[in-house]
DNA sequence: TTCCTCTCAGACAGGTCTGTCTATCGTACG
DNA sequence: CGTACGATAGACAGACCTGTCTGAGAGGAA
């Protein structure tokens, strides 16, 4: 855990990007309340006035951090789905991509869930979380429909439940390696029953 | 909630109980970081010195709050399970009891999950969360075995994943009424596949 | 009575935080 | 060359936090 230079700060990149990178690292690893503005600007190598020049408040910085997470996660899932053709395999590819995240050393659960428990209700964080969840939900519902589920809305919901539970358990149980296989098995079971195909 | 009897001992436990009740309300509804000691003692009608007479620190008060939650939740689930005989119905009774919690107006997700995202790693909160999760996991594994699952450990894990996901989704999606039925259906599907019984 | 213990109300210290402001520095551009 | 602008370092205000301490009150026990 080298405090000195965990990430090389490239002063050619804009102050805004450096702030977002620092926010990503620190907010995700340690939480929003415990990481103060001073730590962000120190890591980013940026003056405090510059931060408040790019973002009106800490909450806006948090919202930008979540927006970047949203983009990163959905594009990663989209890439995983694009690698296969069969809808059923696309669903499994999503859970596979999720499992790869669990294996990362810096994995710390869903950023939106964590931010939502720390932020006040009705703010920018809640809005960002709602948007993210709607996106994931839509993805699963579409996949359920393509896979031929009799009730795509319900199967989409169930897959989302599984996705949520997996992310939460992986954080709470600290990378328990037994989670990922159980998740994939469960997804297949839910699929089988919903598509009425038998095992 | 014991009625106050004017003995010395009851006065002592009364202050402690009032503090725990206040902690339960405020920590659960608003989070641990955002609720300060002053709000706790004001709600409990207790002096600050009395709080630090009963608990060495805020973290210890939080740990006591989580311990009371642990006891409350596990006894509620045990009562729900005791009402039926068939192991399969016991499993559904657990998810039914959980769904009843979702319907409560003050439901705000899993207290252990929330506390864990706010607390530093390696403290009393993490220990309490680990204990709680192990208890729930053991319950599901036992039920899976009683239900005749071919692989009770895996089914127990999957039911736990479902339980986690349901609690998380119910908070993030703000009591979406579609969650509970989907959870029960999913539990049945997982059971059916694991017990090899067909639908 | 006197003592002893618990309680209350609140001041206080020492630290944190966000957001604003000043004052200086470097550099691009007219 | 001169000017304008963005960035920097850091002080500052105002609010919050936890945990300690003081002083006083109430009630049971010797």
Please give the pLDDT value at position B2. 34
Residue of B nearest to A120 (CA): B30
Q: What is the pLDDT of residues A142-151, one digit of tens each?
A: 999 999 999 9
- Decide if A172 contacts B133 (C-beta within 8 A): yes
The Å distance, CA of A58 to C1' of C8, is 39
Q: Are A139 and A82 in contact (CB under 8 A)?
A: no
Residue B197, pLDDT score: 62
Q: Which of A114, A133, A193 sits opposite B117 (nearest CB)?
A: A114
- Provide the CATH number for the domain formed by A60-195 in this structure: 1.10.357.10
Arithmetic mean of pLDDT, A69-98: 98
From residue A177, alpha-carbon distances to A171, A182, B33, B145, B195 in Å are 11, 10, 31, 21, 24
pLDDT at residue A52, as a whole number: 95
Give the residue whose CA sits closest to C8 at C1'.
B47
Closest CA to the C1' of D28: that residue is: B8
Q: What is the mean pLDDT of residues A73-96?
A: 98
The pLDDT score that the predictor gives to residue B14 is: 82
User: Which nucleotides of strand D come closer than 7 angstroms to any CB of the protein?
Assistant: 6-11, 16-23, 28
B113/A9: higher pLDDT: B113
Are the folds of B1-55 and B58-195 the same? no
Read off the pLDDT of residues A88-134 as tens digits, 9 standing for 90 and up.
999 999 999 999 999 999 999 999 999 999 999 999 999 999 999 99
Q: Give the global pTM.
A: 0.91
CB A69 within 8 A of CB A114: no
Ranges of chain B with pLDDT below 50: 1-12, 199
Give the residue-averaged pLDDT of A9-21: 75
List the domain boundaries for chain A: 1-55, 60-195
Model confidence at A83, pLDDT cuts 50, 70, 90, reads: very high
> Which residue intervals of chain B are DSSP H helices?
8-30, 37-44, 48-54, 58-82, 87-103, 111-118, 124-146, 152-172, 179-195
CATH number given to B58-195: 1.10.357.10
Q: Which residues 6+ apart lie within 8 Å of A34 measured at CB?
A: B33, B120
Cα–Cα distance, B70 to B88 (Å, whole number): 24
In angstroms, the CA of A129 and the C1' of D11 are apart by 37
pLDDT at A106: 95
Which numeric CATH code is attached to B1-55?
A: 1.10.10.60
Q: Mutation test of the interface with chain B: which of A35, A165, A183, A187, choosing the one with the most B Cβ atoms within 10 A? A: A165
Q: Is the pLDDT at A14 greater than 90, yes or no? A: no
Residue A10 above 60 pLDDT? no
Q: Tell me how far apart the alpha carbons of residues B98 and B72 are, in angstroms, rounded to a whole number.
A: 13
């Amino acid at each position: 855990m080298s405090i000195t230079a965990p990430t090389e700060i490239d002063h050619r990149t804009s102050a805004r990007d450096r702030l977002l990178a620092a926010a990503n690292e620190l907010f995700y690893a340690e939480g929003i309340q415990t990481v103060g503005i001073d730590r962000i600007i120190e890591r980013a190598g940026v003056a405090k006035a510059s931060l408040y020049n790019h973002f009106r408040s800490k909450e806006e910085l948090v919202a930008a951090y979540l927006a970047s997470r949203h983009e990163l996660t959905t594009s990663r899932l989209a890439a995983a789905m694009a690698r296969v053709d069969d809808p059923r395999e696309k669903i499994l590819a999503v859970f596979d991509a999720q499992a790869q995240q669990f294996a990362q050393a810096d994995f710390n659960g869903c950023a939106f869930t964590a931010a939502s428990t720390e932020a006040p209700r009705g703010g920018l964080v809640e809005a960002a979380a709602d948007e993210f969840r709607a996106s994931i939900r839509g993805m699963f519902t579409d996949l359920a429909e393509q896979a031929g589920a009799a009730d795509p809305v319900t199967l989409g919901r169930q897959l989302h439940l599984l996705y949520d539970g997996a992310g939460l358990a992986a954080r709470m149980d600290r990378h328990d390696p037994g989670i990922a296989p159980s998740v994939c098995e469960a997804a297949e079971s839910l699929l089988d029953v919903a598509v009425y195909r038998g095992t």
